[in-house]
């Protein structure tokens, strides 16, 4: 069996973290698994309960909330296994998921990262696992015209294996050799878009990013941030946490655009892009939902 390290960043995930770790335990026959849980200074008792119940897990306790990318990097710097799975604490793994995707990666050495079908509690597909890059055209169509054919690649058959631009950090399988080549998460992002940024660098290095829906994972989504409509009643996120997450959501848009697209366009185009992001940001603050 292959050696796999699973990295989970926890922030007030409550019972979801324990359910996630329990689902990992049931897959011990699919890989030699080392699990790392990085806690971003949670105020709930999730990490204390997890430490008591899962003695084989490697726990890394941060004294402050470092965000998603920086939190993951604390564990990623310690990992030496061939495969690495980045996993959200509000996910639950199903039988066969690890062995299937590791086998797929084994048979396709040109694949730098892959994900499975990511399902929300209502059975719909979480399209953050199936994205195009947020180019000017894709972003305009999606945010202002409600057309997500380029951003969420909705013209593709979601039941077939195919290449995409970006997958979600909620379930992100990659190789240590790939991370050694392209680098870890960019810590300029507090949360959101760091998974797109990593995919951008993986593809730029010549690897493929693949969507493999032959297996699936359950993702409750938004438990820590409290910004998703379907988790409003179950999240433990405070008003302050939700505001900080919302700000991060829109700040990352500017960071990603500045790093990867701004040099391709004249000043006035960049100015319009930043103004459009600010406009959407102001509107979003009224509802605290993204």
pLDDT mean over 238-254: 74
pLDDT computed for residue 270 by the predictor? 77
How does pLDDT run across 154-213, given as a tens digit for each residue?
999 999 999 999 999 999 999 999 999 999 999 998 888 899 999 999 999 999 999 999
Report the residue count for the chain: 290
Residue 239 pLDDT: 67
Q: Which residue has the tokens 């990352």?
A: 252
Picking from 98, 96, 89, the residue whose alpha carbon sits closest to that of residue 22 is 89
Q: Find where tokens 């605290």 sit.
A: 288
pLDDT at 142: 85
CATH numbers and ranges of domains, the chain: 3-224 (3.90.550.10)
The predicted structure's pLDDT at residue 214: 96
**pLDDT for 4:** 98
pLDDT score, position 224: 55
> What b/e string do you get for 186-212 counting C-beta neighbours within 10 Å, with b at 16 or more?
bebbbbbbbbbbbbbbbbeeebebbbb
Supply the DSSP string of 139-203, one letter for each residue.
Answer: HHHHHHH---TTTS-TTS-TTS-EEESB--TTEEEEEHHHHHHH-S--TT-SSSSHHHHHHHHHH
User: How large is the average pLDDT for residues 39-67?
Assistant: 95
Contact (CB, 8 A) for 190 and 252: yes
Percent of the chain with pLDDT over 90: 67
Give me the chain's average pLDDT, please.
89
DSSP-based three-state secondary structure for 189: coil
How confident is the model at residue 231, as a pLDDT?
A: 54
pLDDT tens per residue across span 74-109: 999 999 999 999 999 999 999 999 999 999 999 999
pLDDT at position 237 is: 57
* pLDDT of the residue at 226: 47
Collapsing DSSP to helix, strand or coil, 219 comes out as strand
Note the pTM of the prediction, 2 decimals: 0.89
pLDDT at 31: 97
Q: Indicate the burial class of 144 (C-beta count within 10 angstroms; 0-12, 13-18, 19 or more).
A: exposed
Q: What is the arithmetic mean of pLDDT over 24-37?
A: 97
């Amino acid at each position: 069996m292959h050696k796999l390290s699973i990295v989970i960043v926890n922030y007030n995930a409550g019972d979801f973290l324990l359910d996630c770790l329990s689902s990992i335990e049931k897959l011990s026959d699919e890989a030699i698994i080392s699990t790392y849980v990085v806690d971003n200074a949670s105020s709930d008792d999730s990490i204390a309960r997890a430490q008591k119940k899962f003695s084989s897990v490697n726990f890394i306790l941060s004294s402050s909330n470092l965000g998603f990318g920086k939190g993951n990097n604390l564990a990623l710097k310690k990992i030496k296994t061939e495969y690495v799975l980045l996993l959200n604490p509000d996910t639950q793994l199903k039988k066969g998921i690890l062995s299937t995707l590791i086998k797929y990666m084994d048979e396709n050495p040109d694949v730098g990262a892959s994900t499975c079908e990511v399902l929300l509690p209502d059975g719909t597909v979480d399209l953050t696992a199936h994205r195009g890059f947020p180019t000017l055209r894709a972003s305009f169509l999606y945010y202002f015209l409600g057309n997500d054919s380029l951003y969420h690649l909705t013209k593709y058959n979601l039941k077939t294996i195919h290449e995409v631009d970006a997958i979600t950090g909620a379930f992100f399988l990659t190789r240590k050799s790939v991370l050694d080549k392209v680098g870890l998460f960019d810590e300029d992002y507090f949360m959101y878009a760091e998974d797109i940024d990593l995919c951008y660098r993986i593809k730029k290095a010549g690897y493929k990013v693949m969507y493999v829906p032959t297996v699936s994972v359950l993702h409750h989504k938004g438990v820590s941030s409290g910004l998703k409509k379907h988790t409003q009643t179950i999240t433990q996120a405070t008003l302050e946490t939700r505001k900080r997450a919302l700000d991060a959501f829109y700040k990352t848009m500017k960071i990603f655009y500045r790093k990867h697209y701004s040099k391709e366009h004249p000043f006035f185009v960049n100015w319009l892009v930043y103004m459009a992001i600010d406009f959407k940001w102001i509107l979003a603050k009224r509802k605290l939902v993204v």
